[in-house]
Amino acid sequence: MNHSTRRIRPDVALAGTTRGHRARLVAGAVVALSTLLIAGCAQTGTSGADHKTVLKVYGWKGGDAEPANVKQINAAFEKANPDITLKYSFIPSAAYPQRVQSELLAGNAADVVMTDSAKVQDWGSSGYLENLSSQSWVSGVRKEIGPFIENKGKTYAMPMEIIGISMFANNTLLKQVGVTETPKTWPEFLDDLQKLKDAGITGLSLPNKGGWTGDATTNAIAATLVYTSHPTFDADFVKGKASFSAWKSSLQQLLDLQSKGFIDLKSELGVDEWSTGISDFQAGKSAFYLQGAWNQATFTKAGLDDSFIPWPASNKDNAKANLFVGTMLSVNAKTKVKTAAEKYVAFWSENKNASLYLQAESAVSPFTKGESPTGAATKEFVAAVNDGRYRILPSNTWLSAEGETTLQQQVQALWLGQQSIDQTVKNLDEKLKPTS
């Protein structure tokens, strides 16, 4: 027998101990393990050492790409609540549903989770979110935002923002062709695009590889062309009383831009809207571009002289702002620190805290008495909102994430010439109609 195989290693010397010694070691190990388990359990809840409440929060804002002043607001919360230790985890939006939904199902998600209207519908109705209807901030929420944060009459989220998805204009490029004001009407827009084309400058870019820009642009145009004359379109469509045939002119407007030689829609399908589109616009590669207002902070930081404006879809100066009920905060129904979680959510609803976030996001307050910060770049857009000229994307009904995917594919098929506008609206009517 090989002697070396019987050699006793110092780190596994347990075999050489006496029975009593071994029992003491086992008992010690059990105590140590128990302590570790208790410490682990204290990750959420009250920690033993300083009796502070540990509050875990998940969000897809607050990362390097979109800091959104989340760190500052969290620091202010901890300062105002010295008995609470905040553990904020940034989770990229692309990975957020997979991770958080799974954790909610397993019962170990954070105490406060960032949500949006689609998540409120699914997670709230299935009992994974706390009913926040009794919170004091609920009465201050703008009336039209109610359906986005509620399910069957119960409030499951505190809305953090209403944010624009609309057109950015590069003022520097416009000045190069003698345009000193951003377009307010369709003819003005066409005129600007012609001047840019004549000067050899790319007028408009709508990178649409993932489909998002096509759907967002169609919605931004429809905000004016559909909702000015038919403001209840979304509710009517859900009731089966409206058809997407009302959207024909909105879909046509983009095809018109192509036929006038201002854009090649097929080529735009090869450009990624997130990785390439944003950086290209920031680098001054086109004069007009469509994206979310949350990019304004990045553009400002990069020194870009730009304006964020409603899509000038109409012949009249009555363009509507295209708004989206963005991020929200909800409380995990299984939280053990409900009071602290509700306190955190309420903290974000206060003007002085929310305005930091809204400023960074270039967003509008969802509260009737909320302050909507205005910057030089966004003043025209915010003015339209303050003037009542806006439409809110129905992300809680037919434009849920799945509905949005349908719209994206249909618009891409139209841009490719695979189907006519008539066929597109027919498909939209059929695929987006309520299932129950």
Partner 1 sequence: MITRRPLVAVAFMAPAVALYLILVVYPLVQGLILSTTDSKIGNAADFVGLKNYAALANDSDVIRALGVTIAYAVVVVIAQNAVGLALARALFMRPRIRQLGSTLILLPTLMSAVMAAFVWNSLLAPDGAINALLKALGLGTLTHVWLGDPSTALWAIAVVNIWMFAGYSAAIFLAGYMNLPAELIDASSVDGASGWRRFTAVEWPLLAPATTVGVTLSLIGSLKVFELPFVMTNGGPAGSTTTLTMVIYVKIFGGGHGGFAYGATIAVLLLVIVVVFAGVTQALLRRREERI
Tokens of 17: 């101990």
Q: In whole angstroms, what is the distance from residue 252 CA to residue 258 CA?
A: 10
Q: State which residue, 34 or 126, has the beta carbon closest to partner 1.
A: 126
Instruction: State the minimum distance, in angstroms, from the CB of residue 286 to partner 1.
Output: 13
The answer to whether 343 and 136 are in contact (CB under 8 A) is no
| H-state helical runs in 305-378 | 338-349, 351-361
Q: State which residue, 241 or 266, has the beta carbon closest to partner 1.
A: 266
Instruction: State the minimum distance, in angstroms, from the CB of residue 341 to partner 1.
Output: 20
Q: State which residue, 52 or 431, has the beta carbon closest to partner 1.
A: 431
Instruction: State the minimum distance, in angstroms, from the CB of residue 431 to partner 1.
Output: 8
Residues at the contact surface with partner 1, assessed by CB under 8 A: 97-98, 101, 104-105, 116-119, 121-123, 125-128, 209-211, 266-272, 275-276, 395-397, 400-403, 405, 408-410, 412-413, 415-416, 418, 435
- The Cα-based distances of 123 to 35, 329, 340 in angstroms read 34, 12, 21
Instruction: State the minimum distance, in angstroms, from the CB of residue 285 to partner 1.
Output: 10
* Phi/psi at 244 (5° precision): -70, 0
Helix, coil or strand: residue 289:
strand
Q: In whole angstroms, what is the distance from residue 172 CA to residue 176 CA?
A: 6
Q: In whole angstroms, what is the distance from residue 47 CA to residue 38 CA?
A: 9
Q: State which residue, 353 or 408, has the beta carbon closest to partner 1.
A: 408
Instruction: State the minimum distance, in angstroms, from the CB of residue 97 to partner 1.
Output: 4
Count of helices and strands (H, E) across the chain: 19, 14
Instruction: State the minimum distance, in angstroms, from the CB of residue 417 to partner 1.
Output: 10
**Sign of the CA dihedral 190, 193, 215, 431?**
positive
Instruction: State the minimum distance, in angstroms, from the CB of residue 273 to partner 1.
Output: 10
Cβ-Cβ contacts under 8 Å for 92 (sequence gap 6 or more): 60, 63
Torsion of CA 176, 179, 185, 187, to 10 degrees: -80
Strand partners, 150: 155
Q: State which residue, 129 or 337, has the beta carbon closest to partner 1.
A: 129
Q: State which residue, 93 or 298, has the beta carbon closest to partner 1.
A: 93
Cβ-Cβ contacts under 8 Å for 307 (sequence gap 6 or more): 168, 169, 171, 182, 377, 378, 380
Q: State which residue, 76 or 271, has the beta carbon closest to partner 1.
A: 271
Tokens of 18: 């006496």
The answer to whether 342 and 349 are in contact (CB under 8 A) is no
Instruction: State the minimum distance, in angstroms, from the CB of residue 413 to partner 1.
Output: 4
Q: State which residue, 44 or 121, has the beta carbon closest to partner 1.
A: 121
Q: State which residue, 127 or 231, has the beta carbon closest to partner 1.
A: 127
* Phi/psi at 248 (5° precision): -55, -45
Question: Which residue type does 46 have?
Answer: T
Place of tokens 């090649």: 264
Strand partners, 169: 288, 307
Q: State which residue, 269 or 363, has the beta carbon closest to partner 1.
A: 269
Instruction: State the minimum distance, in angstroms, from the CB of residue 272 to partner 1.
Output: 6
Q: State which residue, 47 or 405, has the beta carbon closest to partner 1.
A: 405
Instruction: State the minimum distance, in angstroms, from the CB of residue 330 to partner 1.
Output: 13
The answer to whether 176 and 151 are in contact (CB under 8 A) is no
Cβ-Cβ contacts under 8 Å for 250 (sequence gap 6 or more): 218, 221, 222, 225, 226, 313
The answer to whether 345 and 329 are in contact (CB under 8 A) is yes
Instruction: State the minimum distance, in angstroms, from the CB of residue 174 to partner 1.
Output: 24
